[in-house]
Chains A and B, each alone.
Chain A
Amino acid sequence: GQNIDQPTEMTATEGAIVQINCTYQTSGFNGLFWYQQHAGEAPTFLSYNVLDGLEEKGRFSSFLSRSKGYSYLLLKELQMKDSASYLCAVRDGDYKLSFGAGTTVTVRA
């Protein structure tokens, strides 16, 4: 089966940096995705990593180490609107996306 672990909750201050870790053990690997989901809304795509290294996109960056089965999402210059759940998901086949349970990030003033 698939095993994707990420912390349940994190709290940080506005303007700070938060790093959300994700470890995975899957039967196959065809890329790792990060999604953001605000309460009561649909998940929205943030980033995709398939090769080792760091992908930067504005205030958000995502890192992947395939040999360690590890990724992180880095959120910089936190804003109140970044309060949401962040979902780590591994593509382990042609179509299948396996999700972690999500990390709820609360940004405080």
Chain B
Amino acid sequence: ETGVTQTPRHLVMGMTNKKSLKCEQHLGHNAMYWYKQSAKKPLELMFVYSLEERVENNSVPSRFSPECPNSSHLFLHLHTLQPEDSALYLCASSQEDRGPGEQYFGPGTRLTVT
């Protein structure tokens, strides 16, 4: 595998379900990100991890819970979601040491909440 991978690619879940999204980066980067992309809206940054520590949390509802067990893996745990949470969830990674690094995105998980 190369680059940034995400699983599953598509997910349909009910409002009472619990599910997790997984992201893995094979680039040796030291920062990882979760974004939400809704139709016709800008990409919204949800969470940032640097060296496995959370450094940004953009007022995201507690029904979204991130986890970063190591520098290569990032999870987004989902619980009691609402229909308006249906969107494309993108993971990204970057190398942050000599200034801002370009972010490499995964293919995303298309989430539908019913």
Contacts and interface: CB of A to CB of B under 8 A. Distances in A.
Given A42-B105, A45-B103, A94-B55, A99 B48 contact: no
Interface stretch (B39-47, B69-77, B78-86): B39-47
B50 interface: yes
A68 interface: no
Interface residues of B, number: 24
Nearest to A104: B40
A101 B96 CA distance: 25
Contact of B105 (A43, A95, A98): A43
Contacts of A45: 102-104
B45 A98 contact: yes
A33 interface: yes
A77 B64 CA distance: 44
B66 interface: no
B41 A101 contact: yes
Contact of B43 (A44, A50, A99): A99
Contacts of B96: 94-95
Contacts of A43: 43, 90, 105
B32 to A, nearest CB: 10
Interface in B7-47: 31, 33, 40-45
A87 interface: yes
A48 B28 CA distance: 21
A82 to B, nearest CB: 19
B42 A30 contact: no
Given A95-B48, A100-B42, A101-B41, A48 B55 contact: no
Which residue of A4, A48, A99 has the most chain B CB atoms within 10 A of its CB atom? A99
Contact of A44 (B50, B105, B108): B105
A76 interface: no
Interface of B: 4, 31, 33, 40-45, 48, 50, 55-56, 90, 96, 99-100, 102-108
Given A95-B48, A99-B44, A101-B42, 7 more contacts: A30-B100, A33-B102, A45-B104, A91-B100, A94-B96, A95-B55, A99-B42
